[in-house]
């Protein structure tokens, strides 16, 4: 889910950057408050690369297959590093494969990164519900929600931007209906993304719990 160059007018592209810059600044400020930001840098960088590569895994969904976005999972694992990580990842996708583009980098980063930050906070809610649901169930429920909503939010922003910016001759109400409709059509994908996030978090809990325990 990337918006390529040329589709959006310059004003929207600039607005994208205008939102992405302060969000980046805020993330960096939170990162600099960590005990040792220099120690986190190599971890965040390698995980960014790993997420970037992992999103190329084909998930067979008969009769075809899909790629996952993984922005919700990225939020769960990277915390405040999620936004810079997405910025860097999208930059590489734009210049290496032409997924997205340089003018739309800001827009794309907002579209994927803000849902990732939301997902990161959703995942933290597992601590609130730990007593009620039990440690394991709480983690699983919130991992699923983080993954599903990370994708869902990104889809809503994507369709909103594309439909409102493509000259269509439809009125505002039809456009709105189209945004909701197309986003709802993403429900099955949200289920898959959420399930995948849940399975992956279960795997990490078993093999390398510190990956989801660390707070960045």
Residues 144-183 that bind other proteins (CB under 8 A): 162, 166-169
- Is residue 87 near other proteins by the rule CB under 8 A? yes
- Is residue 16 near other proteins by the rule CB under 8 A? no
Hey, which residues between 44 and 73 contact other proteins (CB under 8 A)? 44-54, 56-57, 59-63, 70
Cα pseudo-dihedral 105, 109, 110, 113, rounded to 10: 180
- Is residue 195 near other proteins by the rule CB under 8 A? yes
Which residue in the set 99, 141, 178, 182 belongs to the binding site for other proteins (CB under 8 A)? 99
Write out the H or E segment, with its range, that includes residue 65: strand 64-67
Cβ atoms 5, 102 nearer than 8 A? yes
Q: Which is nearer to other proteins, 131 or 205 (CB)?
A: 205
CB of 127 to other proteins, least distance (A): 22
Which residues are within 8 A (CB) of 86 and not within 5 positions of it... i.e. 6 or more apart? 71, 74, 109, 112, 113, 116
Q: Which is nearer to other proteins, 83 or 128 (CB)?
A: 83
Which residues are within 8 A (CB) of 209 and not within 5 positions of it... i.e. 6 or more apart? none
């Amino acid at each position: 889910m990337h918006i390529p160059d040329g589709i959006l007018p310059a004003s929207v592209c600039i607005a994208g950057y205008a939102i992405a810059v302060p969000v980046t600044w805020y993330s960096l400020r939170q990162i600099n408050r960590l005990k040792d930001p220099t120690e986190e840098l190599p971890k965040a960088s390698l995980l960014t690369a790993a997420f970037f590569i992992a999103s190329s895994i084909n998930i067979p969904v008969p009769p075809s297959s899909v790629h996952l976005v993984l922005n919700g999972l990225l939020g769960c694992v990277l915390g405040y590093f999620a936004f810079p990580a997405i910025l860097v990842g999208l930059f590489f996708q734009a210049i290496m494969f032409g997924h997205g583009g340089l003018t739309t980098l800001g827009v794309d980063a907002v579209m994927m990164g803000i849902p990732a930050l939301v997902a990161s906070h959703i995942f933290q809610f597992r601590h609130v519900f730990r007593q009620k649901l039990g440690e394991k169930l709480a983690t699983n429920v919130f991992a699923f929600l983080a993954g599903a909503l990370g994708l869902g939010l990104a889809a809503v922003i994507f369709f909103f931007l594309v439909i409102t910016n493509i000259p269509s001759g439809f009125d505002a109400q039809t456009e709105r209906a189209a945004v909701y409709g197309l986003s709802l059509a993403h429900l099955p994908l949200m289920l898959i993304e959420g399930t995948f996030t849940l399975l992956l978090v279960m795997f990490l809990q078993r093999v390398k719990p510190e990956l989801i325990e660390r707070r960045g």
